């Protein structure tokens, strides 16, 4: 299952809740989210620029 807040998988043993959103048409999918704050996703980092050669 994937948490709809943080887009990360819900691991075995983690607490989660499920909701069925109200939609105007069609079948509503069941969505899952972590209970409590989601774990922060680490930001993408890039290597620093190499020093200029002299």
Q: Going residue by residue through the chain (54 aa), what tens digit of pLDDT does each one get?
A: 999 988 889 999 999 999 988 887 778 889 999 998 887 766 666 666 666 776
Task: List, in order, residues 6 or more apart from 26 with CB less than 8 Å away.
Answer: none
CA distances from 53 to 1, 2, 46, 49 (A): 50, 47, 20, 12
Beta bridge partners of 19: 31
For the chain, the structural domain boundaries read 1-39
pLDDT at res. 50: 67
pLDDT at res. 39: 73
Evaluate whether 38 touches 5 at the Cβ level (below 8 Å).
yes
Beta bridge partners of 16: 34
């Amino acid at each position: 299952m994937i948490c709809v807040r943080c887009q990360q998988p819900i691991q075995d043993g983690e607490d989660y809740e499920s909701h069925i959103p109200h939609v105007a048409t069609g079948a509503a999918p069941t969505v899952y989210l972590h209970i409590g704050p989601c774990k922060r996703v680490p930001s993408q980092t890039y290597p620093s620029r190499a020093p200029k050669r002299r």
